[in-house]
């Protein structure tokens, strides 16, 4: 995944807002970060840094004086090094993207057959942001080039182009990832993946781009270059996991959705417990909703420790990775002893970290551990965004359980994905037993749709039930 931020001013330098606005996207990515500004002389200032063992701020703070100019874009990414700067027949521009390709080889071939060449590498492969930039440059103008990407790419793509005319904001053709515009109280505009960056920098949320919409943002305002499509498939997992609690997608606040999911589950639950607690960070909102719906208190039985362990720190050694994951969460022993506790979490992917957490809870004397999950079981790899199980479906503990039952991880998957079926209940029970917990329940797809509040056909729930469109 990733998150971008761009800003453009009329009369002031953009670097302060750009720096802090990009930093506010840090929860959306873990590997690379970059910024670029368009200087008054028409050249670009650019830097890219690795974040795998550090924070965004520590990497860019000393370089800020070089980022002069009134417009700039920045990104924090889980994938490729960005921004990419290109000088092309349609103009000179910098580009950042949040994208995933299913047909990258075919797109590379087309670019090279038309005389283009690819120079940037990301993890030894073609840098996808450069590839998108080159495909855009093959158009008659920026908009024609963006249409070229929309119609050739299988997957998803949202991004920003920093040009001499302004910042061109692009939302994915099906709106799988969000883009939002904010207006500054004194000077200029910003455009970002998440509007959590706006309030403290003096911006008010002004406009959410629609699916496939393209907008030119200047210091004076913004105008539409391409109308939004009618069909939308915004990713439901944004509200479940990735989104910052105060962020809004389509005007719907992340934390409100999580609270509704917890409250709905509590109202249909029948267990007795001493208190509810959330697994930080994304489980907290659900736990507060569960406490509200069940009329049991909320307690902080697990807290997160991050001063020396940034989210992005990912050691190469698996044993060390497991230790770091354990060190980030600290259980409150005094609360747990002899207590029956409901723990709320966002999802179960591999199951390893949750099993480790549960063992700690029992080790501290918890009498009963009930797990409540704010989304349905993850059963399908995401083909659109770099979310769960992007490498293999066998990373999913649910598929490994199906393989145990059926001898084939792909057999009868839809039956296991259907809430309330015999196969579904059998899978959940096996997972409960494997995790050594007292009880386990997941929200249903309908619970998730109801909590978000958009029509089902506008929300992508592919990773839960294989329902989606737009990737043929």
pLDDT band of 31, cuts 50, 70, 90:
confident
Beta bridge pairs of residue 169: 160, 215
pLDDT band of 308, cuts 50, 70, 90:
low
Q: pLDDT by residue (tens digit) across 73-130?
A: 999 988 789 999 999 999 999 999 999 988 888 888 888 887 777 776 666 678 899 9
User: In this model, does residue 161 exceed pLDDT 70?
Assistant: yes
Query: What is residue 38's predicted lDDT score, i.e. its pLDDT?
Result: 97
pLDDT band of 146, cuts 50, 70, 90:
very high
Write down the mean pLDDT value for the chain: 91
Buried residues in 235-254 as b, exposed as e (16+ CB within 10 A): bbbbbbbbbbbebbbbebbb
Query: What is residue 69's predicted lDDT score, i.e. its pLDDT?
Result: 97
Query: What is residue 140's predicted lDDT score, i.e. its pLDDT?
Result: 96
User: In this model, does residue 472 exceed pLDDT 60?
Assistant: no
* Whether 468 contacts 462, CB under 8 Å: yes
User: In this model, does residue 324 exceed pLDDT 70?
Assistant: no
Whose structure tokens read 């145990």?
404
Query: What is residue 266's predicted lDDT score, i.e. its pLDDT?
Result: 96
User: In this model, does residue 388 exceed pLDDT 50?
Assistant: no
pLDDT band of 312, cuts 50, 70, 90:
very low
Mean pLDDT of the region 304-330:
61
Query: What is residue 313's predicted lDDT score, i.e. its pLDDT?
Result: 45
What is the 3 state secondary structure string of the chain? CEEEEEEECCCCCCHHHHHHHHHCCHHHCCCEEEEEEECCCCCEEEEEEECCCCCHHHHHHHHHHHCCCCEEEEEEECCCCCCEEEEECCEEEEEEEEEEECCHHHHHHHHHHCCCCCCCEECCEECHHHHHHHHHHCCCCHHHHHHHHHHHCCEEEEEEEECCCCEEEECCCCCCCCCEEEEECCCCEEEECCHHHCHHHCEEEEEECCCCCEEEEECCEEEEEECCCCCCCEECHHHHHHCCCCCEECCEEHHHHHHHHHHHHHHCCCCCCCEEEECCCCCHHHHHHHHHHHCCCECCCEEECCCCCCCCCCCCCHHHHHHHHHHCEEECHHHHCCCEEEEEECCCCCCHHHHHHHHHHHHCCCCEEEEEECCCCCCCCCCCCCCCCCCCHHHCHHHHHHHHHHCCCCCCHHHHHCCCCHHHHHHHHHHHHHHCCCEEEECCHHHHHHHHCCCHHHEECHHHHCCCCCCC
Domains of the chain listed by start with CATH number: 2-232 (3.60.20.10), 254-454 (3.40.50.2020)
* Whether 286 contacts 346, CB under 8 Å: yes
Q: pLDDT by residue (tens digit) across 163-217?
A: 999 999 999 999 999 999 999 999 999 999 999 999 999 999 999 999 999 999 9
User: In this model, does residue 309 exceed pLDDT 60?
Assistant: no
Q: pLDDT by residue (tens digit) across 451-461?
A: 999 999 999 99
Mean pLDDT of the region 232-261:
96
Query: What is residue 424's predicted lDDT score, i.e. its pLDDT?
Result: 98
């Amino acid at each position: 995944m990733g998150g971008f931020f761009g800003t453009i001013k009329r009369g002031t330098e953009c670097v302060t807002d750009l720096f802090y606005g990009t930093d506010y996207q840090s929860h959306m990515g873990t590997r690379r970060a970059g910024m670029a500004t368009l200087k008054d002389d028409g050249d670009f200032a650019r830097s890219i840094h690795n974040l795998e063992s550090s924070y965004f701020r520590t990497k860019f703070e000393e370089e800020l004086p070089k980022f002069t100019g009134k417009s700039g874009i920045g990104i924090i990414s889980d994938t490729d090094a960005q921004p990419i700067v290109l000088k092309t027949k349609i103009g000179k521009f910098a580009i950042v993207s949040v994208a995933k390709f299913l047909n990258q080889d075919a797109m590379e071939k087309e670019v090279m057959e038309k005389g283009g060449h690819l120079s940037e590498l990301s993890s030894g492969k073609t840098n996808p942001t450069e590839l998108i930039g080159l495909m855009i440059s093959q158009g008659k103008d920026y908009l024609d080039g963006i249409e070229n990407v929309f119609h050739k790419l299988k997957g998803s793509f949202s991004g920003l182009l920093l040009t001499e005319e302004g910042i061109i904001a692009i939302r994915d053709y099906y709106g799988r990832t969000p883009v939002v515009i904010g207006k500054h109280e004194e000077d200029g505009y910003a455009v970002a993946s998440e509007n959590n960056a706006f309030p403290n920098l003096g911006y008010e949320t002004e406009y959410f781009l629609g699916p496939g919409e393209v907008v030119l943002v200047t210091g004076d305002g913004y105008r539409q270059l391409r109308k939004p499509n009618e069909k939308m498939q915004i990713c439901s997992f944004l509200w479940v996991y990735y989104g910052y609690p105060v962020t809004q997608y389509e005007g719907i606040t992340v934390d409100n959705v999580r609270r509704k999911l917890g409250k709905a589950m509590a109202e249909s639950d029948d267990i007795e417990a001493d208190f509810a607690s959330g697994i930080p960070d994304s489980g907290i909102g659900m736990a507060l909703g569960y406490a509200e719906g069940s009329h049991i208190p909320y307690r902080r039985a697990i807290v997160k420790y991050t001063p020396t362990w940034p989210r992005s720190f990912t050691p190469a050694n698996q044993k060390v990775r497991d230790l770091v994951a354990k060190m980030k969460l600290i259980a409150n022993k005094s609360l747990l002893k002899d207590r029956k506790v409901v723990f709320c979490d966002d999802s179960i992917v591999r199951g390893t970290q949750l099993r480790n957490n549960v063992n700690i809870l029992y080790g501290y004397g918890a009498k009963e551990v009930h797990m409540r999950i704010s989304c349905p079981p993850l059963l399908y790899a995401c083909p659109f965004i770099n979310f769960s199980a992007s490498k293999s479906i066998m990373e999913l503990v649910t598929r490994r359980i199906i393989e145990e039952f059926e001898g084939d991880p792909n057999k009868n998957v839809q039956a296991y994905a259907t809430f309330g079926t015999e196969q579904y209940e059998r899978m959940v029970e096996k997972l409960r037993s494997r995790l050594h917990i007292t009880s386990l329940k997941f929200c249903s797809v309908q619970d998730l749709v109801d909590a978000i509040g958009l029509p089902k056909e506008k929300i992508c729930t592919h990773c839960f039930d294989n329902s989606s469109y737009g990737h043929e």
